[in-house]
Amino acid sequence: MIELTKIEEIEVLSNAVRACRICVEKPEKAPLPHEPRPVLQTSSTARICISGQAPGTRVHKSGRPFTDPSGDRLRSWMGIGEDVFYDPDLLAIVPMGFCFPGLDAKGGDLPPRPECRKVWHDRLFAAMPQIELILVIGQYAQAYHLGKARKGSLTETVAAWQTYFQESGRSDRPLVLPLPHPSWRNNSWLKKNPWFEAELLPVLQKEIARLVSRA
């Protein structure tokens, strides 16, 4: 049996994800309402990983993660530009759902497809042991990466960021920072929670700068 190198393993897995049609051909519930277009950015060297929800309509069209106003805000939060953000040597992006899940009756995005997490996520993160910091955006990513340690609500979870950050830093697991979604729909949340920009973002930007400088 031929053993794959780390780079080859990531490439094989990434290609398999991009070719995935499980949510159309063997869905757990109603099939994906359109052709799959999985979006992710994997790496054998990146020390930073972003784990969010799922692509929206703009990302589904572009095929590139965070090509929307949410991406602009997220990059601002991180203190980096597109040159770093889209460099797979520096940063991985593994959303909880790889394809745009479709819209609900009110015009909002449906939850990430559950098939993605069950089939791919454990394998992808096992293949990227060099990751040192994971930004978990939204409740689905936080539920996966924080497990039983996750607080009741998204606000409570993000408010407890220091606890997660310190506890993950004591183990051989990556550091974890929970974040709200950078959507402009969360403007009111940011106004109600000024500690996020005053306390959490400086730590986030310091960690990003530290890890990028080590590349």
User: Cα dist. 188→56, 142, 192, 194 in Å?
Assistant: 21, 21, 6, 10
Whose tokens are 């063997």? That residue is 26
Q: What is the pTM of this model?
A: 0.94
* 141 is a domain residue: yes
- 21-79 pLDDT tens trace: 999 999 999 999 999 999 999 999 999 999 999 999 999 999 999 999 999 999 999 99
* 123 is a domain residue: yes
Q: Which distant-in-sequence residues (6+ apart) come within 8 Å of 112 by Cβ?
A: 53, 54, 95, 96, 97, 101, 140
- 183-214 pLDDT tens trace: 988 999 999 999 999 999 999 999 999 999 97
Confidence band for 1, pLDDT divided at 50, 70 and 90: very low
User: pLDDT at position 215, please?
Assistant: 67
Q: What tokens appear for 157 in the block?
A: 């979870």
Give the DSSP H or E segment for 93.
strand 91-93
Quote the domain boundaries for residue 124.
6-213
Sort 205 into a burial class: Cβ within 10 Å, 0-12 / 13-18 / 19+: middle
User: pLDDT at position 214, please?
Assistant: 79
Q: What is the CATH number of the domain that holds 71?
A: 3.40.470.10
Q: What is the C-alpha to C-alpha distance for residues 121 and 130, in angstroms, rounded to an integer? A: 15
Please list, residue by residue across 179-188, b when 16 or more beta carbons sit within 10 angstroms of its beta carbon and e when fewer do.
Answer: bbbbbeebee
* 180 is a domain residue: yes
Instruction: Order across the sheet with 48-51: list the strands.
Output: 91-93, 48-51, 133-137, 175-179
As for how many domains the chain has, the answer is 1
* 1 is a domain residue: no
* 110 is a domain residue: yes
- Res 167 pLDDT > 80: no
DSSP calls for 94-148: --SSSS---B-TTSPBPPPPHHHIIIIIHHHHHT-TT--EEEEESHHHHHHHHGG
